[in-house]
Amino acid sequence: MSTAIASLDTPAALIDVSRMQRNIQRMQQRMGTLGVRLRPHIKTSKCLPVIQAQIDAGASGVTVSTLKEAEHCFTAGISDVFYAVAIAPGKLPQALALRRKGCNLSVLTDSVSGAQAIVAFAQQHDERFDVWIEIDCDGHRSGLAAEDDSLIDVARILSEGGMQLRGVMTHAGSSYELDTLEALQALAEQERLLCVRAAERIRETGMACPEVSIGSTPTALSALNLEGITEVRAGVYVFFDLVMHNIGVCQADELALSVMTTVIGHQQDKGWIITDAGWMAMSRDRGTQRQRQDFGYGQVCTEAGDWIEGALVTGANQEHGIITLGAAGSDDLVARFPIGSRLRILPNHACATGAQFPDYHAVDADGAVHTWSRLHGW
């Protein structure tokens, strides 16, 4: 343990930089092999050094979940930004302001009225927005079905309204519910087929639909064929987490985000270790609750990062975590995990846990620690 890590106040969010770099390389190389561009979703890290590492590795632009992220990226010199949430009409002035500053911001819609709002605002301000249409490939959330009659209406409203129809996009969010390679491959193929089909339907009418964008970390790492796809969006692969581990798309030694915590007490009778990483540090995300293995609020590791098999954060109050040791046995709890000793917790969901912290502590292979700030709010 380096002095730098040992002197961190807890709770602290640590990034293992070597693992992060390997994760970035892995996804980038895979996309290269499959012949598509990678547009990472930066909502996971919301952190410029992480995003820059993705760009340096070959990413083509970024995906964002808020206009604040878009602004942040643009200020750092990243101008190809896709705001991949159907835009609320009230946010169009902010999107316009970004474009007027030179940001190549593209926006998203999945409805006739959404498209009409974009066109009306754009015409009022003499702007030609780059617009994507969202496709629903798995019933998970938003988007138009590939065969929906409205798809052509939306494309026509945008094209005839003078917008640049950038393409179609989808997100197979239901991949988070799977955990076999066969099911993931099947969903990845469904995601590809339906998004390509939507693009073809638009093209059949004579309108241009240059881009076909898909993505989720599980499907991106499972797809065998991305014919017809131009780009993939994925986010959580940069850190991975226990949800991804349960799905089966990463190994334990690829988990790059952890929370350092200090033991502050015990309830020996109950087999509890009390720590200073409660839900304010871990988040309330219980993403593994219905998966193959329920990790509670996180997998407990030694300070150095080695898994303590069976040890989980099974309870969380605001600033108190409760660890139970399970198979690791609770004899001599107090002696084995004395007050003041440290543990590291692997989170269920890197996007949610990261969001609880104003900064990450990025740990290099040599133990040096850098403080990397992250965005908060909208």
**Pick 16 or 110: Cβ nearer its own copies:** 110
Chain contacts with its own copies (rule: CB under 8 A): 9-12, 43, 65-66, 85-91, 94, 110-111, 113-114, 117, 136, 139, 141-142, 173, 262-267, 270, 274, 276, 279-280, 283-286, 315, 317-320, 322, 334, 338-340, 351-352, 355-359, 376-378
Could you tell me the smallest distance in angstroms from the CB atom of residue 272 to its own copies? 8
Cβ 131 vs Cβ 118: under 8 Å:
yes
Could you tell me the smallest distance in angstroms from the CB atom of residue 80 to its own copies? 20
**Pick 87 or 242: Cβ nearer its own copies:** 87
SS (H, E, C) 251-287: CHHHCCEEEEEEEEEEEHHHCEEEECCCHHHHCCCCC
For residue 185, what is the enclosing H or E element?
Answer: helix 181-204
**Pick 24 or 259: Cβ nearer its own copies:** 259
Could you tell me the smallest distance in angstroms from the CB atom of residue 270 to its own copies? 8
Closest of 133, 237, 145 to residue 190, by C-alpha? 145
**Pick 206 or 377: Cβ nearer its own copies:** 377
**Pick 92 or 199: Cβ nearer its own copies:** 92
Could you tell me the smallest distance in angstroms from the CB atom of residue 37 to its own copies? 23
Could you tell me the smallest distance in angstroms from the CB atom of residue 56 to its own copies? 25
Closest of 50, 89, 85 to residue 65, by C-alpha? 85
Q: Tell me, what amino acid is at 21? A: Q
Could you tell me the smallest distance in angstroms from the CB atom of residue 18 to its own copies? 25
240: number of Cβ within 10 Å? 27
Spatial neighbors of 230 by CB under 8 A, at least 6 apart, are 36, 37, 167, 210, 211, 212, 213
**Pick 106 or 356: Cβ nearer its own copies:** 356
Closest of 370, 362, 355, 372 to residue 68, by C-alpha? 355
